[in-house]
Chains A and B, each alone.
Chain A
């Protein structure tokens, strides 16, 4: 067996292991987002939504659906990688990977693909849930929607990986999601268009990276956006390349993985 086939087998093994990990605990990983998002749709969509009226010319629940899907994709792809990679460090089972001939890039891709698969799966589950509340929903630009879905899941899986590399305790893996990701997501246009904000807050919001991710996805699903799509896509790809390079550098140096 040649080297390329060996690497492919090891990569598939790691991806399979990662997917099995979160499917084995599906009650903890797949059900909660479906339940939480159902509550959002019931309260903000069906109960409060009609009183809000329209947002960017769309029903409020319709406007909210892409934002809530993105929120689920971001939090779950991040959470999957950060908890999985930190756990293998904590249990020392990372040694199983380090002593093997797997190259660093394959280790990174394996964990990121685990996060991406969970993020995308949750995104699909939330979309299916949303159809119960808004059955007439149609996707305007499926190609852009799917592209942004995958790019976002990759981006936040990479962020989760870096968080796990530097984490020394379980507290360290919850600080970023709680105090950084969640506020940025909530203020990143999930529930509103920044056009309703006063100028100063609109300008401040433009510095929130979540705004670009959420709005690009909304453009794909609904055809409305507060930001420039080519610029947003370029930014997402730029950050993916930068973060992936950082991850590989950290793995090569053994930061957080080798003594």
Chain B
């Protein structure tokens, strides 16, 4: 058994329009990992996934799925791979159950077995009650679930999700997170691209960032977060202020008369900040992170690149 679920070597892609999407990416994802592939729009994430899934033809480089070279035996590699595309890619006029059963058939699963597998998968994703409805009548969230059901029907060992929670409400997003955590715990390696950095932070063990077709970071989530130097906090106070309080070494700004923004360095003590505020007669009612920590670092990295 291979150590890696996915190995990408010097992957390049130049489209017919001369747009260079990938400039030679090297990436390895270990078996059992929950891996985030991040990057701004047009960075090359979808091109990378497209090549792995054979929806995009590569210009150069190698892709191995569980040690199977896709140039040598792509069909064998495809049996181990499930892909949830960014855009809806099923016939909206077909019934939910038919879409999933047909997908199973495309993977060579006989009709009798595929009916059983379809029932199990649809039940698992909360779609069984909607099995006889046309796909077009489903809500956006259920369409996303259907995409995942299709990708899981042949029980892949590597699941790639290209922005699976885009446009999905918070409740459903959380449900999906739980589901993905569950199948990852059962042994499925997952690669996720997302614009919600909170999602990556919550779910993923390792992370790679692509920008302008190049890999600018490839590390563990823990390591990445430990590199954060500063964090922004929002403090709600009870008595309105006209101007922000002056606290040595703590830049404080007023968002409005009862809301303060504070930037705290990693080595600074939050206790000291509260002591200073108390000394100035400012009572703090509540405190929260100003924005996602990973988001700050991501923007910094991309801007630097």
Contact = CB atoms under 8 A, between A and B. Distances in A.
Interface of A: 1, 3, 5-7, 9-10, 12-14, 16-17, 87-88, 91-93, 95-103, 253-254, 258-259
Interface of B: 15, 50, 53-57, 74-76, 78-79, 81, 83, 85, 87-92, 102-103, 105-111, 150
A87 B94 CA distance: 13
Q: Which of A9, A10, A12, A91 has the most CB of B within 10 A?
A: A9
Contacts of A12: 105
Given A95-B55, A258-B56, A101 B108 contact: yes
Given A1-B110, A13-B102, A95-B53, 14 more contacts: A5-B108, A7-B108, A10-B105, A14-B105, A91-B91, A91-B92, A92-B85, A93-B91, A95-B85, A99-B83, A101-B76, A259-B50, A259-B55, A259-B56
A101 B57 contact: no
A5 B102 CA distance: 16
Nearest to B82: A99
Nearest to B77: A101
B57 A259 contact: yes
Given A10-B105, A103-B75, A98 B91 contact: no
B160 to A, nearest CB: 10
30 contacts: A9-B105, A9-B110, A10-B106, A10-B107, A13-B106, A13-B111, A14-B105, A17-B105, A87-B91, A92-B88, A92-B89, A93-B91, A95-B55, A95-B83, A95-B85, A96-B89, A96-B103, A96-B150, A98-B55, A99-B55, A99-B81, A100-B78, A100-B107, A101-B76, A101-B78, A101-B107, A259-B15, A259-B50, A259-B55, A259-B56
A96 B107 CA distance: 10
B57 A96 contact: no
A102 B106 contact: yes
A5 B56 CA distance: 27
Contacts of A6: 107-108
A99 B50 CA distance: 10
B219 to A, nearest CB: 29
A7 B105 CA distance: 9
B57 to A, nearest CB: 5
A258 B54 contact: yes
A107 to B, nearest CB: 9
Q: Which of A5, A9, A13, A99 has the most CB of B within 10 A?
A: A99
A101 B81 CA distance: 10
Contacts of B75: 3, 101-103
A95 B89 contact: yes
A101 B107 CA distance: 6
A28 to B, nearest CB: 13
Contacts of A91: 89-92
Given A95-B89, A99-B78, A14 B57 contact: no
Contacts of B111: 9, 13
B100 to A, nearest CB: 10
Given A6-B108, A9-B108, A100-B78, A93 B56 contact: no
A22 to B, nearest CB: 13
A210 to B, nearest CB: 33
Contacts of B55: 95, 98-99, 258-259
A16 B15 CA distance: 35
B54 A96 contact: no
B90 A10 contact: no
A98 B75 CA distance: 10
Most buried by B among A14, A88, A92, A253: A92
Select the residue from B50, B53, B107 with max chain A CB neighbours within 10 A.
Answer: B107
